[in-house]
Amino acid sequence: MDWYTLSDLAILRELGSSLRQVRLNRNQSQQAVADAAGIDRATLSQIEHGRPTSLLTFVQLLRTLEQLELLNALVTKAEISPLTLARLAKKQRRNAYPPTADTPPTPPPAEW
């Protein structure tokens, strides 16, 4: 499906319809799913018909329907390029040097 060709409301209808199908495949009533998710049955009905909802409610429904793995597609990890990683490794300190005369002394540990 090309999500970019759909309007925002059409996307909500598709998501609601998919949630409804998952619920039906699990042979669960709207009331049972709504109770388990901690929402009103009418709210679930509205979501299944494509009405806007909060992200929290959507996550509650995904959890109840055991579909949280669908969120994996939304999570991205920042990756460091190998070149940047090599530059950072080059800047890391590799040796400790003895203190010199102009190095301030290390303060004693605090006594708490």
Distance in Å from the first CA to the final CA of the chain:
63
Ranges of the chain whose pLDDT falls below 70: 103, 105, 112
- Does an H or E element contain 59, and which? helix 55-64
Distance CA 50, CA 47 (A): 5
Distance of CA 3 to the CA centre of its chain: 20
Query: What are the pLDDT digits (tens) for 88-106?
Result: 888 777 777 777 777 676 7
Token pair of 61, please? 């429904």
How high is the pLDDT of residue 82?
83
How high is the pLDDT of residue 9?
95
CA separation, residue 41 to residues 34, 59, 92 (Å):
5, 16, 58
How high is the pLDDT of residue 88?
81
Put simply, whether the predicted model's pTM sits higher than 0.85 gets the answer no
